């Protein structure tokens, strides 16, 4: 998943090497989701660079943070996930961020009520 510019400083300088180690070293290019995304029972069968078994899109394996904290790069906090599993796992976080963004845009320039 692309890193938002405002979060870039939260990632370590060697993030690319860490991510590659998780995705292609430990996971061997296969999605590590075991159903925690809520989209499938059991292990996801998606493989990097191949057609996704459910969506048909080409899989790009991503490195995801289980606790949503980019600073926490412990191997047990990181998972190699296909785009589908990563987006599903982070869906609540994305919804909350979108709501905050919408609220900020609606209230931009407004004087406080109290």
pLDDT band at 107 (very low <50, low <70, confident <90, very high): confident
- Do the domain assignments include residue 112? no
Number of structural domains (the chain) is: 1
DSSP-based three-state secondary structure for 108: coil
pLDDT band at 99 (very low <50, low <70, confident <90, very high): low
The pLDDT, as a whole number, for residue 91 is 82
pLDDT tens for residues 74-87? 999 999 999 999 99
Q: Which residues lie below 8 Å from residue 96, measured CB to CB, with a gap of 6+?
A: none
- Do the domain assignments include residue 113? no
- Do the domain assignments include residue 47? yes
Cα–Cα distance for residue pair 32/26, rounded to 1 Å: 10
pLDDT tens for residues 33-64? 999 998 988 999 999 999 999 999 999 999 99
First to last CA, the chain: 40
- Do the domain assignments include residue 46? yes
- Do the domain assignments include residue 114? no
- Do the domain assignments include residue 61? yes
Range of the domain at 75: 5-107
The pLDDT, as a whole number, for residue 98 is 63
- Do the domain assignments include residue 42? yes
Please give the residue that has the higher pLDDT: either 96 or 64.
64
């Amino acid at each position: 998943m692309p890193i938002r510019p405002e979060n870039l400083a939260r990632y370590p300088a060697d993030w690319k090497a860490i991510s590659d180690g998780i995705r292609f070293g430990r996971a061997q290019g296969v999605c590590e989701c075991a159903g925690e995304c809520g989209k499938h029972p059991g292990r996801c069968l998606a493989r990097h660079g191949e057609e996704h078994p459910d969506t048909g899109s080409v899989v790009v394996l991503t490195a995801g943070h289980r606790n949503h904290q980019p600073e926490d790069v412990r191997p047990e906090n990181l998972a190699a996930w296909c785009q589908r599993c990563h987006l599903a796992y982070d869906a609540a976080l994305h919804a909350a961020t979108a709501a905050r963004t919408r609220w900020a845009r609606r209230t931009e320039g407004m004087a406080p009520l109290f």
